[in-house]
Structure 1
Amino acid sequence: MKFKLMTALTLSAAIAGPLAAQEVIFAHGAAPGNPRDVAAIAWGEAFTACTGTAVNVAGAATMGDDVEMLTSASAGIIQVTANSQGAMSQIVPEIGLLGLPFLFADLPSAWAVLDGEVGQMLDERAQASGLKVLGFWDNGIRHVSHMTKTVPNPADVAGMNIRTPPDQMTIDIFTALGASPAPLAFSELPTALQSGVFDGQENPLTNIYSSKIHEITKFITLTGHKYEATPVVAGLAWWSGLDEATQDCALKATAEAGEIQRNLSLEAEQTLRPQMEAEGVTFAEADRDAYIEATSAIYDAYASRYPDLVAALRAAVGQ
């Protein structure tokens, strides 16, 4: 009887172990209702339908900030994260090139580039660092919000204490504009703004609204100074251990959920301004030509370091 009991327990553990390991954790840092959160839930549903594997969607930075989630994916603690361009550029610096100032005219232009050769080049570089890019969702064209004023001209930004993501490109842009940029995790931003550490910040309208940052920084200037993607990233060790059919399910889920996310992001870009104005936000248009001129030297600096990717990006957008 003892032998049978031990055998049963051993068999049970052998079965339960792989089954428990089958749960996929999909982590992200966005607030509930944000397009990234909606898409993450859709990803989980699609992946489960395709594979039968349960997905735990861990949102709102419950698995740490973006850098911590990337580290966890590399270590196999989580399997997939819808992450940020800025955080990932700390591991794969080339991905920061998507944020070259005023590179993309609009969101569809950016998506076309990400879904082509440039996206493949960035995935190759990510894999060399232990991460697999499943696809690129959207994180919008970014604008500046300020506590006390609009900033229609580059001179208005001079001296501004501005929060940025942990992204060297964004820091370089605001340094060129004469501001004092400092990186901070997005989850810590509202508290830092309320305490007066920063004069303002920069984000797409959907992030500003879903995180209620517009209630703190009530002056938004539509600078459109850079674009950011949301790379959907898997740990390479987990990815490499999947069979081809499961890999295809992950890629399909990323594409399907990405279409939802991109469309929500585009809709927000087009509709949020009047909604935010009704809630007391003051908007201003930026002098785009003046901003472009003030940040133009950034292209030369990055072209000298990453000539192939900068050339590919410029060719893709017709520069």
Structure 2
Amino acid sequence: MKTMMKIALVATTALVAGAAQADEVIFAHGSNPGNPRYVAAEKWAEVYAACTDGADTVNVAPSATMGDDVEMLTSATAGVIQVTANSQGAMSQIVPEIGLLGLPFLFQDLPAAWAVLDGDVGAMLDERAQNSGLKILGFWDNGIRNVTHVEKTVAEPADLKGMKIRTPPDQMTIDIFEALGASPAPLAWSELPSALQSGVFDGQENPLTNIYTAKLHTITPYVTLTGHKYESTPVVAGLAWWSGLDEAHRQCLLDATAEAGKLQRRLSQEGDETLRPKMEAEGATFAEADHAAYVEATKAVYDKYAEQYPQLVDALRSATAAGN
């Protein structure tokens, strides 16, 4: 309620000031200090302000201070904020096709995912987003995801049976864990630590970077490297605001997103490669998953989405196979 009152107050202030084309750009996201998204947002602000020769300033609103991801997308559409580094799950509620990036075991590694997002598939998703009032400026990273549990590792799909697992608000993730026999339920990221501590969930799934920076490994110290799906971080502007900008400002937005995105992706990949020993030193226990068993257990998820979106699923498979 407090968040919605804050959004309403900002909206009223913007309307009174006639600030549809505000010189101050609000860039909102949900990550805390230390997370690659947080670092990249600060870089984005620096690059964008410099590109506009100081004509525009950026107010970075981190840590879900402007609401959760769904609320931030709503605010971007309404012109309350201008840009948000958001989540694939929240975006999939507006643009269902973006959820297909999370098909189980679609991408072998992060560079493979980035190559697809930076090509025709990314352009196709932007076109669909614009039909819903949003402009995708680019895709940052939200990693290949793994499962953490309060008391055991889950090397085999059978180990997940009945597990109460938190997911983002993303139907694809819910479908994956239902196929694996778990009991998934969505919850906002900002509410996750307290929900784990209170026993509402047995565990959760995220890339190592998110797990470490949010200290989730201290609550759910059993980490299984399932690698079950990929998620992006779409950087999104409100289409009405974007449409009112001149070409120079539009290019500044795209350039800032691309430059900060290089930093964000690099930090995300480094986290995947270096965080395991740090987490183990802090008490986490790691296990490898039976990859073949997990792939087999989630085949039905592909069947469901191939029936709903045959063209886009084929395009994703082709792009992944081609490496572009």
Deviation at 1:18? Answer: 6.1
The answer as to 2:42 corresponding to 1:41 is: yes
Query: Aligned residue for 1:6?
Result: none
Q: How many residues align?
A: 304
Query: Aligned residue for 2:169?
Result: 166
Question: Equivalents in 2 of 1:41, 1:307: separation in Å?
Answer: 39
The answer as to 2:272 corresponding to 1:269 is: yes
Question: Equivalents in 2 of 1:204, 1:257: separation in Å?
Answer: 20
Question: Equivalents in 2 of 1:64, 1:80: separation in Å?
Answer: 13
The answer as to 2:86 corresponding to 1:83 is: yes
Question: Equivalents in 2 of 1:292, 1:187: separation in Å?
Answer: 30
The 5 A counterparts of 1:1-319 are 21-51=22-52, 52=54, 53-318=56-321
Query: Aligned residue for 1:3?
Result: none
Consecutive unaligned residues of structure 2, counting only runs of 5 or more, are: 1-16
Question: Equivalents in 2 of 1:18, 1:237: separation in Å?
Answer: 13
**Counterpart amino acid of residue 141 in structure 1:** I
Question: Equivalents in 1 of 2:21, 2:122: separation in Å?
Answer: 33
Question: Equivalents in 2 of 1:223, 1:274: separation in Å?
Answer: 17
Is the contact between residue 106 and residue 320 of structure 2 (CA under 8 Å) also seen in structure 1? Answer: yes
Deviation at 1:17? Answer: 6.0
Deviation at 1:317? Answer: 1.0
User: SS where residue 264 of structure 1 aligns?
Assistant: helix
**Counterpart amino acid of residue 37 in structure 1:** Y
User: SS where residue 150 of structure 1 aligns?
Assistant: coil
Deviation at 1:21? Answer: 2.1
Question: Equivalents in 2 of 1:184, 1:98: separation in Å?
Answer: 20
The runs of at least 4 consecutive aligned structure 1 residues that moved more than 4 Å come to 16-20
Question: Equivalents in 2 of 1:206, 1:259: separation in Å?
Answer: 16
**Counterpart amino acid of residue 271 in structure 2:** A
TM-score (norm 2): 0.92
Consecutive unaligned residues of structure 1, counting only runs of 5 or more, are: 1-15
**Counterpart amino acid of residue 159 in structure 2:** D
Per-residue CA deviation, residues 54-109 of structure 1 (Å, 9 max, x unaligned), is 00000000000000000000000000000000011001000000000000000000
Question: Equivalents in 2 of 1:280, 1:138: separation in Å?
Answer: 27
Is the contact between residue 40 and residue 264 of structure 2 (CA under 8 Å) also seen in structure 1? Answer: yes
Is the contact between residue 21 and residue 244 of structure 2 (CA under 8 Å) also seen in structure 1? Answer: no
Question: Equivalents in 2 of 1:41, 1:245: separation in Å?
Answer: 21
Deviation at 1:297? Answer: 1.3
User: SS where residue 169 of structure 1 aligns?
Assistant: helix
Deviation at 1:30? Answer: 0.5
Is the contact between residue 21 and residue 241 of structure 2 (CA under 8 Å) also seen in structure 1? Answer: no
Deviation at 1:19? Answer: 11
**Counterpart amino acid of residue 142 in structure 1:** R
User: SS where residue 108 of structure 1 aligns?
Assistant: helix
Deviation at 1:276? Answer: 0.2
Question: Equivalents in 1 of 2:242, 2:21: separation in Å?
Answer: 17
For the pair shown, which has the larger CA radius of gyration, 1 or 2?
1
Question: Equivalents in 1 of 2:300, 2:163: separation in Å?
Answer: 20
